[in-house]
């Protein structure tokens, strides 16, 4: 048996070609789908490793245009579903509707934009509906249930559940609180993605019954940070190890 894992990577980190190879390595290890983060100069919901990687991706010349070509190449090479994760300003600057339209044209499945939330999204949800792109809300353990219900009322196809308080990159412990929260969510229609601080097979295994898929990112960024071509087979192995039920 295999546990589903969405693998998160940062566009243009460490550079364009390598980030494409990283996506292929993650795919060959058995990633369920790929989440590509478009780096932003002032992210407010990333842990320190992702932050540093985004800084470097920007220094290495990331542009939104490059981001879309990367996404297109990833889709072409891996045939996997791809989601874009980024921040409000990247969308607003291009024009929110235009960004959504471009995502659709590039074959993107959905968008995860943590700082554009229900009733504060400048039309993102509507554009998503118009062009057939999933707008994936990001919920946390501390989101009041009333708000959760409000968000679910819009019938998102997916929801992203952050399984940790805060964003400082420490490991997430799967607590009773997490499971209760996930149970509440799983009573609803949306497919649940869960992540933040996922780095072990045991976590993925524990979460699998409650989720559509787990999401892991920082764990790969740490590996990529070590550098070199030979990280690619390592990444593949990591995905394998995270997703297999029995070793």
Binding site for another protein (CB under 8 A): 40-45, 48, 51-52, 55, 58, 63-64, 87-90, 92-94, 114-117, 120, 122, 137-140, 142-144, 147, 162, 165-168
Active-site option among 35, 97, 149, 176: 35
Q: Of 55 and 225, which CB lies nearer to another protein in the complex structure?
A: 55
Min separation Cβ 193 and another protein, Å = 14
Q: Of 64 and 179, which CB lies nearer to another protein in the complex structure?
A: 64
Active-site option among 24, 32, 46, 56: 46
First to last CA, the chain: 11
Min separation Cβ 137 and another protein, Å = 7
Min separation Cβ 233 and another protein, Å = 30
The tokens for 95 are: 């024009």
46 is catalytic: yes
Q: Of 40 and 131, which CB lies nearer to another protein in the complex structure?
A: 40
Q: Of 136 and 232, which CB lies nearer to another protein in the complex structure?
A: 136
* Alpha-carbon distances, residue 144 vs 114, 119, 139, 184 (angstroms): 16, 16, 10, 12
Min separation Cβ 142 and another protein, Å = 5
Q: Of 89 and 244, which CB lies nearer to another protein in the complex structure?
A: 89
Residues 6+ apart with CB under 8 A from 194: 160, 161, 163, 182, 207, 210, 211, 213, 214, 215
The tokens for 226 are: 């070590």
* Alpha-carbon distances, residue 212 vs 6, 106, 208, 217, 228 (angstroms): 10, 24, 7, 17, 33
CA atoms within 13 A on the CB side of 11: 25
Min separation Cβ 244 and another protein, Å = 31
Number of H helices, E strands in the chain: 11, 9
For 49-135, strand residue ranges (E) read: 81-85, 110-112, 134-135
User: Using alpha carbons only, how large is the chain's radius of gyration in Å?
Assistant: 17
Which positions are catalytic?
A: 35, 46
């Amino acid at each position: 048996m295999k546990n589903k894992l969405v693998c998160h990577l940062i566009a243009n980190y460490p550079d364009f070609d390598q980030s494409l190879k990283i996506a292929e390595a993650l795919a060959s290890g058995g990633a369920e789908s790929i989440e590509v983060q478009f780096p932003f100069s002032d992210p407010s919901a990333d842990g320190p490793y992702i932050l540093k990687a985004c800084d470097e991706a920007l220094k290495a010349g990331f542009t939104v245009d490059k981001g879309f070509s990367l996404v297109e190449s990833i889709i072409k090479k891996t045939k996997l579903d791809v989601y874009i994760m980024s921040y409000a300003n990247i969308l607003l600057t291009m024009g929110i509707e235009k960004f959504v339209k471009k995502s659709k044209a590039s074959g993107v499945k959905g968008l995860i934009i943590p700082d554009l939330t229900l009733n504060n999204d400048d039309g993102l949800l509507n554009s998503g509906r118009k062009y057939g792109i999933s707008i994936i809300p990001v919920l946390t353990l501390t989101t009041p249930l009333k708000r959760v219900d409000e968000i679910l009322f819009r019938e998102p196809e997916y929801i992203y559940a952050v399984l940790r308080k805060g964003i400082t990159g420490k490991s997430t412990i799967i607590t009773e609180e997490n499971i209760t929260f996930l149970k509440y969510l799983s009573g609803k229609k949306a497919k649940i993605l869960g992540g933040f601080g996922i780095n072990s097979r045991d976590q993925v295994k524990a979460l699998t019954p409650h989720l559509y898929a787990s999401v892991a990112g920082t764990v790969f960024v740490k590996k990529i940070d070590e550098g070199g071509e030979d990280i690619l087979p390592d990444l593949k192995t990591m995905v394998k190890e995270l997703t297999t039920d029995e070793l």
